[in-house]
Amino acid sequence: MTLFALIALLSLLNTILPDFIRNYLKVSRLWSARNASEVRHLQAEVDDAREQVEVVRNAEHSGEYAKTIKIMRAERKVAEAEAKLKSARGMENLMRMGIDTAMFYGSKVLLALITIIVSFRNRGSPVMIIDEGISLAPFTGLLSFPTGVANAISVPAWAFSCNLTFRLIYGFVKNRGA
């Protein structure tokens, strides 16, 4: 009976946990705390460059040509600082997305691997044996493979049915709530 519950629990976790990790746990928030100082520094550079443009525009110059050149240089510094900031934010978003995707698929692979190992190690043990009065024909051989026990449900068949059932239920509930 414990094998019955273990496989059902693993299948349930494999269905729900990856979406929970992707939507609610957000491991990437830890990354943004490290990168926030760099983004703040670049934002300060942009603000300083914008202030410099205003200072140059309001300053008195020896000629209109000199004023235009100085304004263009200051605006170029603003554009460069803004490009650096945009690049840093893009890298931060890319890293967040990469971390969340890796955690999503990593959790799916880990839980699937655990289910496969449990199924392989217990492949000869039936999860449950059904009474002879209930006919499983024509699927008797398929459901009991590789146990060799008549009217039994094998571990691989139980794992497959649990995964399929939980995914269908989760998909229905998820679409119903959206």
- CA–CA separation, 64 and 58 (whole Å): 12
Percent of the chain whose predicted confidence (pLDDT) is above 90: 24
Which range among 29-43, 130-144, 151-165 shows the weakest confidence by mean pLDDT?
29-43
Q: What's the confidence (pLDDT) of residue 1?
A: 57
Q: In this structure, what token pair is assigned to residue 147?
A: 């146990």
Give me the pLDDT at residue 80, please: 93
Output the average pLDDT for the chain. Answer: 85
| Predicted pLDDT of residue 22 | 79
Mean pLDDT of 107-130: 89
Locate 146 and state its tokens. Answer: 């590789």
Residue 178: is its pLDDT beyond 80?
Answer: no
Smallest CA-to-CA distance from 25 within 144, 107, 126 is with: 107
Indicate whether 94 pLDDT > 80.
yes
Return d(Cα 148, Cα 125) in angstroms, integer.
Answer: 9
Mean pLDDT computed over 95-100: 84
Mean pLDDT of 1-29: 84
